[in-house]
Structure 1
Amino acid sequence: MSEKNTLYLLDGMALIFRAHFALSKNPRINSKGMNTSAAMGFTNSLWEILNKYKPSHIGVAFDLSGPTFRHEIFPEYKAHRDETPEDISIAIPIVKQIVEAFNIPILSKQGFEADDVIGTIAKKAARTDEFEVFMVTPDKDYAQLVEEHIFQYKPAYMGNGVDILGVEEIKKKFDIDRVDQVVDFLGLQGDSADNIPGVPGVGPKTAVKLLKAYDTVEGILEHVHELKGKQKERFEENKEQALMSKELAKIKIDVDVPFEEDKLKYDGFNKEALSKIFDELEFKTIGKRIFGETSTTKKSPAVQAGQMSLFGGAAPATNKVEAEEEVQEVIEIKNINNTLHDYHLIDTPELRKELIEFLAKQDKFCFDTETTSLEASEAELVGLSFSYRNKEAYYVPVSENQDEAKALLEEFRAVFENEKIEKIGQNIKYDILVLMQYGIEVKGKLFDTMLAHYLLEPDKRHGMDTLAETYLHYECVHIEDLIGKKGKNQKSMRDVALEEIKEYASEDADITWQLAETFRPLLSDNQLTELYDSIEVPLVNVLASMENFGVNIDTDALKDISTELGEEVEKREKAIYEAAGEEFNIASPKQLGVILFEKMKLIDKPKKTKSGQYATGEEILQNLAKDHPIVQDILDFRQLQKLKNTYVDALPKLISKKDGRIHTSYNQAVAATGRLSSTNPNLQNIPIRTARGREIRKAFVPQNEDYIIMAADYSQVELRLMASFSQDDHMVEAFQQGKDIHTATAAKVFKIDESEVDGEQRRRAKTANFGIIYGVSAFGLSQQLNIPRKDAKELIDTYFEEFPMIKQYMDKAVNEARDKGYCETIMGRKRYLRDINSRNQVQRGMAERNAINAPIQGSAADIIKVAMIDIHDWMKKEKLQSRMIMQVHDELVFEVHKDELELMKANIKERMEAALKDKLKVPLEVEVGTGAHWLEAH
């Protein structure tokens, strides 16, 4: 191919749509709240072409609004297409500005589509014999235009390489004899996206079979008599439709558009215009890449010096991958350089010694563990991987013999426990816990790429594979490729060939190293470094310590509770059958709906689900419960059965065989608010509102008689934060004076003295207090309090009259979020609200409620995390026998040695109440209790 005369014709709309949807799960939102995914993806695709292929000529075609000639042929053409997403509509004019700033002509013609314009110009250019033409689009329709000097360029997607399709590739792809048969293929099978009807019952395989036999659509129609059965009928009935579909699928190559060679010649971009657009869109890294080379292309000092030993030379590695400054870069372009790596197997004592020496010289290194289980407390090490330089990594296999494994780990103790060396990892808590099983304590500063991304994009996914694709344009080897999908046939990592696991594990360490270098400046740019360094990272060791120690469970107590629950479930079951007059599967929504709404006719017009079944959800049954005893029995049955199955019978199965304790996993990077969650078991969901639910806490007991359980719980922390943020005089005063906030609120709302407030008034005030924080509506409050909506609205209006600063805070929070596109906590934890300016009222309303509530929930999370870190460090420094064992919502639970009880009581309360005290207008209050089990302590 000629390097001088290459013409690239881009289908603008196809590339915009593709970029938007490629990033739909991880959209790129700038600080103004604009979704710039489409513009970013398009720009990267365009720059990839300009920078890598250096076309001599280039143009971008766009569809114009209004009908085309195809609508004249078939008015329903594209009639079924959904309305263009709002974010794409906003992106189109921006992309056109970008194209113009690149000094690239925009090509279009009224009454025709972009593919017709591209088709015409492509054919004209190819006919000169002076051009190789590349049609840049993922659209399969363009395949019909491919010929000797015309190619289809399909951009990379999700890590896959670019496809450049010529004649032979098209023939193979469609399994046809000639390229011009593509249009027959498309016409036969139709296109639901464009509403091209095609021939009913004809799919890709049938289309290929018919074309091999009869060459074209016309050829098939001439031989309809040779077809059989239903197929024959369909072609006989749809002859005109078949020909029309082919015409609709055919790209015009004779549109009245000129091939203006001079205008299409590419001579470079307008830097000033492009810089202005990039500044508006906040495309920092794209700008760096286009306006000047980054250090990613530079060789490391060791390589420059010719030091090519296995570990990269005598000096510590200092080269870095220049950090990405965009929160989300290209997801579709796979960086070819990432395939050029140096991964080494370290499988002898001599090589391990040399690796350890080089690790000891670094100021930071990345490490990762390969194990036999996702549960750290049960896992055995299979291998360790290390990286301290871009695209270099080292894999150390670990023996299945545990004595040999411990001996090998002992070799690495010094570097893992060196406090001067920063340790980098992806979900590093897991790796720390695994090494704890071998007596190794990971010391020194930590950097966790999962947590870094969690702070940068709390609502997104934080898995390494996703991060690699999003930020490094690189597709990792997936674990399923090594061990298979989950199930009985899944292999263990011990079963994987050494060479494969070496590549896989080394890649993990290498990519994590690169991600760390990418995220460091992003944390700084987004003012998240303090939050990251002072809260999230120190919390890793706190949670690892809690998880490793675990919780003691009284299985006998659980057996007793299980028996009691089983008896109560059976009792409710009998009552339900008696009321229904027959036995049925109560757990089946379908059968339950038939009983309640067809047989018993509890309501005249019951709601139905999308599948046509009667709706029997919790909310619907709650509304019926007070009038129909069977419904209350059903609700009780569900609750009791869930308690039994989900908690009482499940907890004993989670007890570790190693130490007889339960080791939950705390998740730092799940809840977008900053709250912790937990799994196996989910401690946050252990019921507390019902007497039966609370009984489960009886089973959480100390390890022996020398210990006692202590629970410390923040009192009304979210209301205190609302008072502090709003600075409402009445609410601040109530908390400062130690008043009961709900009584004080009731007195204000009902305009009576506090001594006159009765239980019902306090209950309403309490519901309003917490409801307001969550943006409750008059309807929602009426449902919660079982009062008329009018009364609920009056209660809300009066509330805001008496506490005007709260209303001002809520309005201010929403307005600031509209301006910034995010809200934040007292520690600067951000929650991005991409729907805050949406035209969709429901989505906007949800974002507005988050703008009010997320700073409160997130600040509560900041407070308890600060307290946990302080308490953990204090207990460790004092070398106490007592341990912090659980965190549940606003509560910390401890297993306290009785000799340390008074010391613990005083210090825990003091330290929890002191957390972020200087940032609050009202005091925090902590209630501390003790007992023989968790329920008694709480």
Structure 2
Amino acid sequence: MTQKNKLILIDGNSILYRAFFALPLLSNDKGVYTNAVFGFTKMLLRVLEEQQPTHILVAFDAGKTTFRHQTYGDYKGGRQQTPPELSEQFNLVRELLDASSIKYYQLDQYEADDIIGTLSHEATKQGFDVRVISGDKDMLQLVSDHVQVHITRKGISEVDVYTPELLLEKLTLKPEQIIDMKALMGDSSDNIPGVPGVGEKTAIKLLNQFETLEHIYGNIDQVKGKKLQEKLMAHKDEAFMSQELATINCASPITIKVDDIDYQGYDSNRLSSLFKNLGFQSLLDTIGSSEEADANKSNQLTDIPVEIIEQVEDIQFSGHEALVVEMVDDNYHLANIEGIGIVNADHHYFIPADIALNSDSLKTWLEDPKQTKISFDSKQVTVALLRHGIKVKGIRFDLLLASYLINPSENNHDIPAISHRLGYQNVLFDEEIYGKGAKLKIPDLPILAEHVVRKTKALYLLKDKAKQALKENQQEALLNELELPLAIILGRMEAQGVRVNQQQLEDMQIELKERLETIEQEVHELAGERFNLNSPKQLGPILFEKLGLPVIKKTKTGYSTSADVLEQLENKHPIIAKLLLYRQLGKLQSTYIEGLLKVIHDDNKIHTRFNQALTQTGRLSSIDPNLQNIPIRLEEGRKIRKAFIPSEQDWVMFAADYSQIELRVLAHIAGDEKLIAAFKEDRDIHTQTAMDVFHVEMDQVNDLMRRQAKAVNFGIVYGISDYGLSQNLGITRKEAKAFIDRYFVSYPGVKDYMDRIVLQAKQEGFVKTLMQRRRYLPEITSRNFNQRSFAERTAMNTPIQGSAADIIKKAMIDLDFALAYQGLSARIILQVHDELILEAPKSEIEKLKQLVPEIMENAVKLDVPLKVDYAYGSTWYDAK
């Protein structure tokens, strides 16, 4: 006889609140508050052991505003703000649920009660037994022959289990009468008014006599007591409004179904790791040993029927496939494709590379935009297939980007790591299959096919989980409208590459070598002897013993000659400036000139790789080589850009960059009226700040004042401290503090923003950009001052820097579309933070001078105008 399905529905907000106030304010060794999570976990483990559910879900409230506020604006209006010590634990509970392989759900404009009511109705129709766990007696209206409601009575350890019989015994009411009881007596916790002066006893007495609210008012003359009649009639509208407010919506537009929340048991190893991190030592014994955990693991992703394809025509495409293009080398510009995995609901295909890359049928499918493809790293797929003449289209989801958006602080976003985080344990890491380093090799076909298909299957299964997390974070548009389209554009940019004049770099190499030799000789003359300039052991005694310069810092091995030490000594002796220049030019030579010469491809181009899923702010970075980091402070560094030239004859390089975009974003986010006005009137913001802070007129602002104002303007964006500013400007901390204080007096909106965003980060555990990009900051509640201070500065900066990064990404998408729409040959080839570099025919320059700034300045609408500067020339250096 098969066991009947049992569904557990947990009111997450209610149980967390009860646990928080029932237990002392506990925290772990990292300073993270854990009392609510601990109480919730104990309750959850007890429920799992006692109830043995086949399906389970934890429902959360989505926010402060619900559809009920349309009926009554003051609904829940009397509630106090959630303590920050509790707010920061909600994310920990979600981590706990993820580790327990238990799904959770919330829905905008609806409450956890509505989600639970809707799912309980759906489940009972399917023959489930349902158990609702909550501290809210509103849930009693859901009680039925198949729905028990467990109400926590004392803290969360004692529970009353309500059935129709117990409800009748305790309250002498039927489940459907609970709504009308609330309508009459109201609910102070939810600010439901009810009828003033009618308490629980009177409400029950009335319902015992008349059964329903409608019958009470239909027979008002029969209500005993004239005063009660008058109260009821005077507040009839409030009573029926309260009835509406108290009614759980059991037909909410939820997107999750009962079949989606099946429960296979938790992984003891994964849960124990989380318990150790949270400091829940007392709970470790309750979750069993590793052997038990292994026994509880579901057989997900085992016994996959791999179909190794010899004829692509044999593949049965469904129009909705997961796609993995398998490469072992990280640099997909050079890596061999080992094979292609394709998985749909019914089939698990592996196509060996020699068959895949020579198949017109596969090319047709890959290039068909109507055939939906789920990918992992769509940029990599785009570049790899372009190398074989295939322009892949129809990619509608990217798991790498989704995982990165969900939590950018994770340091591993490959398929196995994501699989393990989301509950599929049977996906091996590439190193386990291929080895690494000198031992790396491609295994035999059956093993290769099994591994690739297993990853592709995981990709197919993980999409829905990742989509749900994105939806809960309000990040669907961030993926679908920003990151995914950008990935395809970046892929085309990388494949296109940037042409390099190799001879120019080689000439610079010779020139720099001669310059370095000259500086070395000059240093030897100033020192009075020859020595190795690159050896701190030899340099230290020269500077601090022979030349008698003051010792700034010592290390275990002798004198420190680090850059910060030399910079402090720069005015003490002419040898220091030459040493600093020698180091700067030496780095240019080794890192950039020689480095660039090593990575020029056969097509005389450099094909960098943009990291789209690395930085926690959302900024792009680039590697192999890093073209965003070519030094421009030194003229010698700027000259490196002369080697970057258009790839076509009679073309030019066109560069456009946002002017002070982070300060403009700060003005918008902070809403500071004076800052906004300065940008709207196109004033020089650093001169304006100097005028405001020093209380002088424009013609009285000197270079020093403007330089100090500039340092503060950009420092404020990064949450600069008085110490940091004092180091930047070479002034005392007291002077720096006074400067920052005067700035905040001049721009109070900025100060309010800084205070507000730090408080918000402490309450929610994260900050977000204008486009909903999140950055989690667990250290913001740390007891360690340095960790907490860094997190607070990060909280101030991330919404600004991250929003600026989002804006230029949006501009890239808009500009790419506009260039294609207008039939122009110009194309974007590089992005360097706030700057876009294009190459274009000379004949299109006049058009670009109008089009590029217009597109970039209108990428988003802020309270201040965006401003774009542009230039063009025969090399990247000339486009300045």
Same fold (TM over 0.5): yes
What per-residue deviation string (whole Å, max 9, x for no partner) do you get for residues 653-697 of structure 1? 21211x221111111101100100011110111111221111111
Task: Give the Cα separation in 1 of the matches to 2:528 and 2:440.
Answer: 48
- Verify the 8 A CA contact 2:101 2:263 in the aligned structure 1: no
User: Displacement, 1:886?
Assistant: 0.4
In 2 relative to 1, CA 663–344 (structure 1 residues): closer, same or farther, beyond 3 Å? same
In 2 relative to 1, CA 89–484 (structure 1 residues): closer, same or farther, beyond 3 Å? closer
In the alignment, which residue of structure 2 is the partner of 1:340? 302
Which blocks of at least 5 consecutive residues in structure 2 are unaligned? 1-11, 20-26, 61-85, 105-115, 127-256, 274-292
Task: Give the Cα separation in 2 of the matches to 1:719 and 1:287.
Answer: 43
In the alignment, which residue of structure 1 is the partner of 2:497? 550
* Range that drifts further, 476-485 or 796-805: 476-485
1:642 to 2:587 alignment: yes
* Range that drifts further, 365-374 or 714-723: 365-374
- Verify the 8 A CA contact 2:102 2:263 in the aligned structure 1: no
Pairing partner for 1:856 from 800, 814, 822: 800
In the alignment, which residue of structure 2 is the partner of 1:754? 698
Task: Give the Cα separation in 2 of the matches to 1:273 and 1:450.
Answer: 26
In the alignment, which residue of structure 2 is the partner of 1:929? 871
1:90-105 to 2 correspondences below 5 Å? 91=34, 95=38, 98-99=41-42, 102-103=45-46
In the alignment, which residue of structure 1 is the partner of 2:403? 453
In the alignment, which residue of structure 1 is the partner of 2:487? 540
Query: Secondary structure at 2:877's aligned position in 1?
Result: helix
Q: Tell me which amino acid in the other structure corresponds to 2:786.
A: V
What per-residue deviation string (whole Å, max 9, x for no partner) do you get for residues 301-326 of structure 1? xxxxxxxxxxxxxxxxx999769999
Q: Tell me which amino acid in the other structure corresponds to 2:825.
A: Q
In the alignment, which residue of structure 2 is the partner of 1:480? 431
Q: Tell me which amino acid in the other structure corresponds to 1:471.
A: L
Which blocks of at least 5 consecutive residues in structure 1 are unaligned? 1-29, 40-83, 105-264, 299-317
In the alignment, which residue of structure 2 is the partner of 1:394? 349
In the alignment, which residue of structure 1 is the partner of 2:131? none
In 2 relative to 1, CA 561–287 (structure 1 residues): closer, same or farther, beyond 3 Å? closer
What per-residue deviation string (whole Å, max 9, x for no partner) do you get for residues 241-283 of structure 1? xxxxxxxxxxxxxxxxxxxxxxxx9755899999999989345
What per-residue deviation string (whole Å, max 9, x for no partner) do you get for residues 755-783 of structure 1? 22122211111111101111112222122
- Verify the 8 A CA contact 1:323 1:518 in the aligned structure 2: no
Pairing partner for 2:475 from 509, 518, 528: 528
What per-residue deviation string (whole Å, max 9, x for no partner) do you get for residues 877-933 of structure 1? 33322111100010000001112111122111100000112xx11000000101111
- Verify the 8 A CA contact 1:694 1:935 in the aligned structure 2: yes
In 2 relative to 1, CA 883–697 (structure 1 residues): closer, same or farther, beyond 3 Å? same
Percent sequence identity over aligned pairs:
36
- Verify the 8 A CA contact 1:322 1:517 in the aligned structure 2: no
User: Displacement, 1:287?
Assistant: 8.3
Task: Give the Cα separation in 1 of the matches to 2:855 and 2:263.
Answer: 39
In the alignment, which residue of structure 1 is the partner of 2:113? none
Task: Give the Cα separation in 1 of the matches to 2:101 and 2:361.
Answer: 46
User: Displacement, 1:705?
Assistant: 3.2
User: Displacement, 1:422?
Assistant: 2.3
What per-residue deviation string (whole Å, max 9, x for no partner) do you get for residues 621-669 of structure 1? 2112221333322221211111111111221221211x22111111110
Task: Give the Cα separation in 2 of the matches to 1:522 and 1:840.
Answer: 31
- Verify the 8 A CA contact 1:331 1:473 in the aligned structure 2: no
In the alignment, which residue of structure 2 is the partner of 1:505? 452
Task: Give the Cα separation in 1 of the matches to 2:487 and 2:50.
Answer: 53
In 2 relative to 1, CA 763–481 (structure 1 residues): closer, same or farther, beyond 3 Å? same
- Verify the 8 A CA contact 1:394 1:506 in the aligned structure 2: yes
Task: Give the Cα separation in 1 of the matches to 2:406 and 2:606.
Answer: 32
Q: Tell me which amino acid in the other structure corresponds to 1:561.
A: M
TM-score by length of 2: 0.69
User: Displacement, 1:329?
Assistant: 7.5
Pairing partner for 1:607 from 554, 570, 573: 554
In the alignment, which residue of structure 2 is the partner of 1:17? none
Task: Give the Cα separation in 2 of the matches to 1:324 and 1:908.
Answer: 53
In the alignment, which residue of structure 2 is the partner of 1:623? 568
Query: Secondary structure at 1:650's aligned position in 2?
Result: helix
In the alignment, which residue of structure 2 is the partner of 1:229? none
In the alignment, which residue of structure 2 is the partner of 1:178? none
What per-residue deviation string (whole Å, max 9, x for no partner) do you get for residues 778-833 of structure 1? 22212211223332222111111111111111111111111111111111111111
What per-residue deviation string (whole Å, max 9, x for no partner) do you get for residues 447-493 of structure 1? 11111011111111222232122222415333334443224x543x4
- Verify the 8 A CA contact 1:698 1:936 in the aligned structure 2: yes
Pairing partner for 1:877 from 821, 826, 838: 821
Q: Tell me which amino acid in the other structure corresponds to 1:726.
A: A
User: Displacement, 1:373?
Assistant: 4.1
Q: Tell me which amino acid in the other structure corresponds to 2:566.
A: L
User: Displacement, 1:564?
Assistant: 1.6
1:771 to 2:715 alignment: yes
- Verify the 8 A CA contact 1:320 1:517 in the aligned structure 2: no
In the alignment, which residue of structure 2 is the partner of 1:515? 462
In 2 relative to 1, CA 395–731 (structure 1 residues): closer, same or farther, beyond 3 Å? same
In the alignment, which residue of structure 2 is the partner of 1:281? 93
1:465 to 2:396 alignment: no
User: Displacement, 1:620?
Assistant: 2.1
1:676 to 2:627 alignment: no
Task: Give the Cα separation in 1 of the matches to 2:849 and 2:382.
Answer: 30
- Verify the 8 A CA contact 1:395 1:506 in the aligned structure 2: yes
Task: Give the Cα separation in 1 of the matches to 2:643 and 2:445.
Answer: 45
Pairing partner for 2:673 from 724, 729, 736: 729
In the alignment, which residue of structure 2 is the partner of 1:563? 510
Task: Give the Cα separation in 2 of the matches to 1:319 and 1:590.
Answer: 70
In the alignment, which residue of structure 2 is the partner of 1:63? none
Task: Give the Cα separation in 2 of the matches to 1:620 and 1:324.
Answer: 60
Task: Give the Cα separation in 1 of the matches to 2:798 and 2:780.
Answer: 13
1:374 to 2:330 alignment: yes
In the alignment, which residue of structure 2 is the partner of 1:225? none
In 2 relative to 1, CA 907–274 (structure 1 residues): closer, same or farther, beyond 3 Å? closer
Q: Tell me which amino acid in the other structure corresponds to 1:396.
A: I
What per-residue deviation string (whole Å, max 9, x for no partner) do you get for residues 330-350 of structure 1? 59766441352324243322x
Task: Give the Cα separation in 2 of the matches to 1:323 and 1:783.
Answer: 58
- Verify the 8 A CA contact 1:101 1:274 in the aligned structure 2: no
In the alignment, which residue of structure 1 is the partner of 2:225? none
Query: Secondary structure at 1:895's aligned position in 2?
Result: strand
Q: Tell me which amino acid in the other structure corresponds to 2:591.
A: T
Q: Tell me which amino acid in the other structure corresponds to 1:622.
A: E
1:418 to 2:361 alignment: no
- Verify the 8 A CA contact 1:728 1:805 in the aligned structure 2: yes
In the alignment, which residue of structure 2 is the partner of 1:86? 29
In 2 relative to 1, CA 511–275 (structure 1 residues): closer, same or farther, beyond 3 Å? closer
User: Displacement, 1:520?
Assistant: 0.7
In 2 relative to 1, CA 605–909 (structure 1 residues): closer, same or farther, beyond 3 Å? closer
Task: Give the Cα separation in 2 of the matches to 1:607 and 1:516.
Answer: 54
Cα-Cα RMSD: 3.7
* Range that drifts further, 86-95 or 730-739: 86-95
What per-residue deviation string (whole Å, max 9, x for no partner) do you get for residues 44-68 of structure 1? xxxxxxxxxxxxxxxxxxxxxxxxx
1:580-599 to 2 correspondences below 5 Å? 580-597=527-544
Query: Secondary structure at 2:613's aligned position in 1?
Result: coil
- Verify the 8 A CA contact 1:103 1:269 in the aligned structure 2: no
In 2 relative to 1, CA 929–103 (structure 1 residues): closer, same or farther, beyond 3 Å? closer
In 2 relative to 1, CA 601–884 (structure 1 residues): closer, same or farther, beyond 3 Å? same
- Verify the 8 A CA contact 1:426 1:448 in the aligned structure 2: yes
- Verify the 8 A CA contact 1:329 1:471 in the aligned structure 2: no
Task: Give the Cα separation in 2 of the matches to 1:607 and 1:96.
Answer: 51
- Verify the 8 A CA contact 2:857 2:867 in the aligned structure 1: yes
Q: Tell me which amino acid in the other structure corresponds to 1:479.
A: D
User: Displacement, 1:97?
Assistant: 6.5
Q: Tell me which amino acid in the other structure corresponds to 1:382.
A: E
Task: Give the Cα separation in 1 of the matches to 2:551 and 2:13.
Answer: 51
